[in-house]
Chain A
């Protein structure tokens, strides 16, 4: 079976080289059938990669340990769910998964554009195929998913830390985002190559952009959620290079998502939009290079090897090629309009863009600083979370304020009356809210600012939606809910956007809660208690369980009391796996809308005894849940923004 899998990859490589070259020849010689043939070959590639992926999945399910990748990432005891997800648990499978996504996306693009954008398609096909070649080359030479070994009795198993739903969803969502940005990039380049520089490429790829942006964000969020539930240090984001690597393209992608609206509406910022999509696509490749090459020290020990350098080479090609194209088209990328007033929708979008790109740059600088300082001063100097927080918190607050202002400020030039109409009430409400929040603000100025601005933003959005619905009720006589639903249905993009903004504000609230985190460590004898926040935790002893033959659990029992009442029995534990030397701490997290009570069993004397004292680390993390809720709300908003306009096509 593995030979077929390998053969499919090889064939795909050949076909992808074909579909990279032939459409360009078709344009040169004016032969449409060349392009059609390339389009069909994309379907063949999609089919072959799907077969290849199916074979790998089958090998996992069948416990075929003669395949090195299967032997290294699974074993006989691995539950079905994680056996399937082990597909993307390692580098080789990730590459295959990536290639699979790209081939499927490419097939969808061909179907979508059967009867339109015929001028762009040859170039789009070629660029997607070249990108596909990168992955196929890697899988042929540097990281063969179907490499064989002498089959061991049993596989080494999947790292227990990765046996968590967060880690099942984190890689695929992230990859969907990464791969998805290939499509708008390919269309942008096609538009430069053909010289057809209107906003057709932007409109055509609008849904692809939202789709990729959404999944990239969700990938990050799943990663954060996993870190919070599994790593047990009480937080979800550590500004580690691997995290920054996927945060940077999200920032520039967000900038791009917004600035294209200005081009659609006012025919401006054409060069800027090109730069942003190139930057976003390059950062997805750069992120992959960073995490696979080991050039930057990270606490995650990613595989070091040649794979990273393939991505570096590809990155250099992308940057040189794209920059050359943009520069050569500068004269026809001229804006047909200019900015009228500094107080306008256009300029507020521009500032939002500058800030987002600035945040990406600051994050880039901090991440690369060890390399930069070593190159310049010969000494390795590093910056940690304090740097990123210090820089990105003020930037983030400015951005939050713009979330309130941008969508409502008038185009071209905002008048005083526009300001009064849209912002006076939110301004007053946020002042009142700010005063009411004074008690939580003392000593937490930035947190207070964040809450106050959040109130401002939410009020602007609620007012805007309410006003829209009211206006509909007056003109059509519909009742409120019906008016509201119709309003959203008729302007999915705009109201989807508002909902996404509400989600973003909720995430800000969740992140701001970090300012009020409390943590405490204590070693307790059986029957002793510790207090933290409003909670009293009474330690009731240890227990040893062996739920499966390969795993032992040491479980501590703690009665959690709040206001004198026993609210829950917490069971933080440490798991000991046969396949791994290290124990794994399993956090017991009691999550509420107000705060999380996060309990870690830090240690106990070995050998194990039921009555021995134990050490705990306990965190009270206010408002964390709003971060995850914000993510869900963004999901709803994105869904609405992406719905097709079937009503309009009647």
Chain B
């Protein structure tokens, strides 16, 4: 390898190293555990106060919405165990009983998961929205 090519090799390695550094530090700073309800509960003490992402199904009839619509309490389950969730923020339109959701936040010693993010799986163009549900009447004004 001649001198010129060496310079390029060094330049390229520096770019690759810089990107590698960004990826590695990015992962270590921002990664969070992605758990099911059961996995969260089996983690024991170590999980309190740590940011985690939990997936589960909203337990039927567990939703208690605050009238201002910016707070909601509900429970999610993995089919086996369930936990209480307290979420503050805009409630997604698609949020309802029985829907698969992902929450992000912290589990507290009081046994309540304080969520700052609530994601609902949204029916996308690849799945028909009305397919699984019977046709509903308007819920407004009733």
Contacts and interface: CB of A to CB of B under 8 A. Distances in A.
A303 B127 contact: yes
Contacts of A480: none
B93 interface: yes
Contact of A299 (B16, B120, B140): B120
Given A581-B96, A615-B68, A300 B124 contact: yes
Contacts of B5: 338-339
A439 interface: no
A362 B15 contact: no
A467 interface: no
B30 A390 contact: yes
A365 B15 CA distance: 17
Given A72-B131, A156-B130, A302-B124, A603 B70 contact: yes
A54 B20 CA distance: 50
A76 B4 CA distance: 70
Given A369-B27, A391-B26, A615-B70, A380 B123 contact: no
B96 A552 contact: no
A302 B127 CA distance: 6
A602 interface: yes
A362 B123 CA distance: 28
Contacts of A232: 93
B135 A340 contact: no
B35 A387 contact: no
B46 interface: no
A465 interface: no
B136 interface: yes
Contacts of A351: 11-12, 15
Contacts of A373: 31
B23 A391 contact: yes
B137 interface: yes
A342 B7 contact: yes
A340 B4 contact: yes
A404 B122 CA distance: 40
Contacts of A394: 22
B15 A159 contact: no
Contacts of B80: none
Contacts of A420: none
Interface string B101-117: 01010000000000000
Interface in A74-108: 88-91, 94
B26 A380 contact: no
Interface stretch (A42-50, A189-197, A484-492, A582-590): A582-590
Interface of A: 72-73, 88-91, 94, 156-157, 159-162, 167, 171, 231-233, 242, 291-292, 297, 299-303, 338-342, 347, 350-351, 354-355, 358-359, 361-362, 365-366, 369-370, 373, 379-384, 386-387, 390-391, 394-395, 521, 523, 544, 552, 554, 574, 576, 578-585, 600, 602-608, 613, 615, 617
12 contacts: A94-B126, A157-B129, A161-B129, A162-B125, A299-B122, A342-B11, A361-B23, A365-B23, A380-B33, A387-B26, A581-B136, A602-B91
